[in-house]
Structure 1
């Protein structure tokens, strides 16, 4: 659809006679429809991202993980982090819905460009917040391991397999492992966000540039 729009736009600018000519309003309408579709996909992806991970809680391994958090004494802290994360996620989903409603209403080019800017800003804030909360969760877990009085009780299977390792060495090994996993997970999710939201934002940016050209 992008190539078709570029072709028709060049035809409108050059005023060639061999292709149908498009008016300013025709091109503006095509850009508006594309932008509305992009924001709709941003909304859909954010909803799926919020709902699908909850299926993991049905797995037995996740229930075992909750027991580990209780033994480490960080279950209450993780609950606070979860409440903040869920509240913010719902807030951003509502914002994406508002952006979709706003951009779905036909408007002039200047107003449409402002809506695109607001959408881009909301998406960037959402990505930054999501990655920050992943790191915050990891930090809470690392601190929980550091202050835990009995690592062997929290990780009995691991302690049995590493009987020759001292309590302190096991503690710092776990802290390093959790911290390293947190960094890898944050980088991985950053790549996922870049592929999903980044691709959609690049399309929005292209629409923004085309609108600016129309205004010149």
Structure 2
């Protein structure tokens, strides 16, 4: 980042030749940083899909809708990753950064909406699964030994599961904020730097 700051300070120098060189260098640095951020995004996405697959395996029911959503998200991220690597101008790179940010926003928003909707719709069923899981754990049984359909939830069970669900959702929010949120901030910084480059070129 020190080199980046030095380049920005040199923008105001009178030498046009050095000024153009600085802009070119700055553009390449921002481009590489954006590509690197997008690469990290891909890795985080892969880790997430593996975790959801493990969850589906344990639950004996793959979250098909979430996997489809992620597949679309991942395909778009891969597309913009390679697009960023081949961009030749500040404007086109800025567009790619904006599109990537929109995709992340959309994915995170839809993902959380799905969590809320699916757990609200299947609240009773999920509460039964939760009770069955607790029963298996308490009695040291194998997974899914207890038939969840035979469980009869009471008000206290709903309250406990609701609290656990809220805590879990909040933890997911924190994780998303620390991962996807940080990537959004980094991309926003890159976008602002590119805007300065574009203004300086004009």
Identify whether the pair has TM-score above 0.5, normalized to the shorter chain. Answer: yes
Q: Does 1:138 align with 2:130?
A: no
Q: How do 1:64-143 and structure 2 match up within 5 A?
A: 82-143=63-124
Per-residue deviation, residues 92-129 of structure 1 (Å, max 9, x unmatched) = 11111111111111321111111100000001111112
Aligned partners of 1:10 and 1:121: how far apart in 2? 31
- The aligned residue for residue 42 of structure 2 is 43
Partner of 2:33: 34
TM-score, structure 2 normalization: 0.76
- Aligned-CA RMSD value: 3.1
1:197 corresponds in structure 2 to 180
C-alpha distance in structure 1 between counterparts of 2:3 and 2:11, whole Å: 12
- Cα pair 1:43 1:97 within 8 Å, conserved: yes
Residue 42 of structure 2 contacts residue 77 of structure 2 at CA under 8 Å; is this kept in 1?
Answer: yes
| Count of aligned pairs | 183
> 2:133, 2:86 → 1: CA distance?
56
- How far off is 1:178 after superposition? 1.8
Contact 1:145-1:171 at 8 Å conserved across structures: no
Long gaps (5+) in structure 2? 139-150
CA distance in 2, matches of 1:3, 1:133: 42
Larger Rg: 1
Unpaired segments ≥5 residues, structure 1: 67-77, 161-166
* Alpha carbons 1:35, 1:204 under 8 Å: kept: yes
Judge conservation of contact 2:35–2:84 (CA < 8 Å) in 1. Answer: yes
Contact 1:135 1:183 survives alignment (8 Å) = no
Distance 1:9 1:155 in 2: 58
Tell me if 1:209 matches 2:159. Answer: no
